[in-house]
Amino acid sequence: MNCDIYISASRRDYEVVSKIKNILYSAGYTYFDDRQSFPPGSDFEQTIRAEIISSKAVLCVLSGNSSSSVYTEEDLRLAIKENKTIIPVIIDNTELVNLGKIGHFLLEIPVIRLNPYDSKSAKVILLHEIEKRCGTKDQKEILIPCANDIKNAQYDVFISCKSEDYPFAKKVYKYLKELNYNVFLADEELRKKGIAEYGKIIDEP
């Protein structure tokens, strides 16, 4: 299938995996996980092996449930053998030392912690890590209706806020810029163009 991301996780973390898949889908990544249906008569283990080998990276979702997951351990063994980019994501308070062999495999691989129920921060952190580690981010064009030299600017994130929320929005803007995202915030990108033009740009459909 040649997906961008192979998702390895305990079946008991299905709810969290669903949220992660939504993040990947929204960013244009293709993915595969063993919860997907298999054609009648297909070899489950061979299919999983083929998907891991053909993927660009393996996203390993870790939790207290992972320590008893034989499949997660086997996925990691194969990913390491095939020299795949591995992105370990811990979704609860579990420590690597509590994950047995799985934790041992990941001792030299940077692990990130993710709160999947904080959708905004989870999206920023996860996508940044994927882009940083394997460079597979699908840069989607977000065309902002603007004037003159910024008319066809491409942005990863458009920040919209009320004026009283601007101080917080500016912090978000700076944070995303530090992560190398191309971010649109009206006061930062447009006010320098002049008040008259600023109003025209914002009101343009």
pLDDT means per 10 residues in the chain (205 residues)? 86 91 91 64 74 92 86 88 92 87 85 89 90 63 36 62 71 79 65 45 45
CA 183 to chain centre: 17
Same domain, 16 and 82: yes
141 assigned to some structural domain: no
Exposed (0-12), middle (13-18) or buried (19+): which is 51, by Cβ within 10 Å?
Answer: buried
User: What pLDDT was estimated at residue 201?
Assistant: 45
User: What pLDDT was estimated at residue 191?
Assistant: 46
The dihedral sign for the CA sequence 33, 35, 39, 42 = positive
Give the chain's domain count. 2
Same domain, 36 and 99: yes
Block residue for tokens 């499949």:
71
Domain final residue, candidates 110, 134, 158: 134
Same domain, 130 and 167: no
104 assigned to some structural domain: yes
Same domain, 49 and 118: yes
192 assigned to some structural domain: yes
